[in-house]
Chains A and B, each alone.
Chain A
Amino acid sequence: MSQQDGFGVLDQPPWTISRRGSVVIAEITLPRLFDPMLVDHLDRQLRTAVGAEDDLILDLTRVRFLSSAMLGRMVMLWLAAQKRGRRVVLTGVNETLSEILRIAGLQERVQAYADVATALATFAKHPS
């Protein structure tokens, strides 16, 4: 993978995207997500992966720091999902990230769960 692929010095994208039925699960594996090229790349991949009938889980268990630009992309994904009647939720949000979400005014808007299994269970109980 070259620099032109958008991952900088990394060999692979620092995230994995999988699917459980109509729920797309994106696990971000980079502790610090600040590089705007990576943010753009992740945003594009998520927009490609999430279909009109899909919900999205963003798993931040391994993320310590997140840029305001990434928060902005999350808002856009959330708004797009809401318009389709679907959901975007977060999992594994640490205390500092939770504080950043509160500061950014997103804590009350984007629901967070302890882990992916818990989030999946709520999707099963309360389908969109």
Chain B
Amino acid sequence: MNAALPPDRGQEPTPTQIAVIENLLISSDAPPQRGIRHLNLSFPSAFVHGDDAVTLVVGRMNSWNWISQDQADLLSHALHEAVGNAVVHGNRGHIEIMVEVELWADGQHWDLHVSDQGKGFSQRDALRAFRGRRRNLGNGRGLVIMASSVERMTFHHGGRTVVLGGRRVDGMRSG
């Protein structure tokens, strides 16, 4: 902690963080389907199920040598944030509404789709959350963590589906 910083400094998003939010890609279209679908999980909107889903998906990707251990830890963070957003902001914690996680991949790249059944969000919503009064409670910070933890992050279905994407480690070796 830098004690010399004035108290208000701690509340301000950095320019890099603002740039991440300003450059969010939010499309109304369905996400592209890369290669073939390797995993398809659907679970109730509860964190205990979300935890299991993240552990399973990242564990499989690691065991297939698609990601390194370092990437696995960062991806776990990103995927936890995505699933958390789907449970809390998308499905509003209604346990009977399902969250879907799909893993698509071709020989070089993988895509994780996390979908909820909420009303989606706009870039303006994200910027408002990030710059607004509640930003210190974490609003918007999760998006920055997700975007910074993977190679690609795009939103589809008006924000109801997030795609986290990266390059396969084994694909890089062979290709």
Contacts and interface: CB of A to CB of B under 8 A. Distances in A.
Q: Do A and B bind each other?
A: yes
Interface of A: 8-9, 32, 34-37, 64-73, 75-76, 78-79, 82-83, 87-89, 95-96, 99-100, 103-105, 108-111
Given A34-B84, A73-B138, 7 more contacts: A8-B48, A67-B81, A68-B144, A78-B10, A88-B1, A100-B145, A105-B13
Contact of B76 (A9, A65, A68, A82): A65
A4 B129 CA distance: 29
Given A83-B7, A110-B1, A72 B149 contact: no
Contact of A8 (B5, B14, B47, B148): B47
Give chain B's interface secondary structure class.
helix
Interface residues of B, number: 36
Contacts of B149: 100, 103
A43 B69 CA distance: 31
Given A73-B138, A75-B136, A109-B2, A103 B144 contact: yes
Contacts, number: 101
Contacts of A99: 74
Nearest to A96: B73
B150 to A, nearest CB: 11
B113 interface: no
Interface in B1-53: 1-3, 5, 7, 9-11, 13-14, 16-17, 47-48, 50-51
A83 B36 CA distance: 54
A104 B11 CA distance: 12
A78 B3 CA distance: 11
- Ordered nearest first, which 7 A-B pairs have the shortest CB separation? A72-B138, A68-B142, A96-B73, A69-B138, A111-B1, A68-B141, A35-B47
A76 to B, nearest CB: 5
A67 B48 contact: no
B139 interface: yes
B144 A104 contact: yes
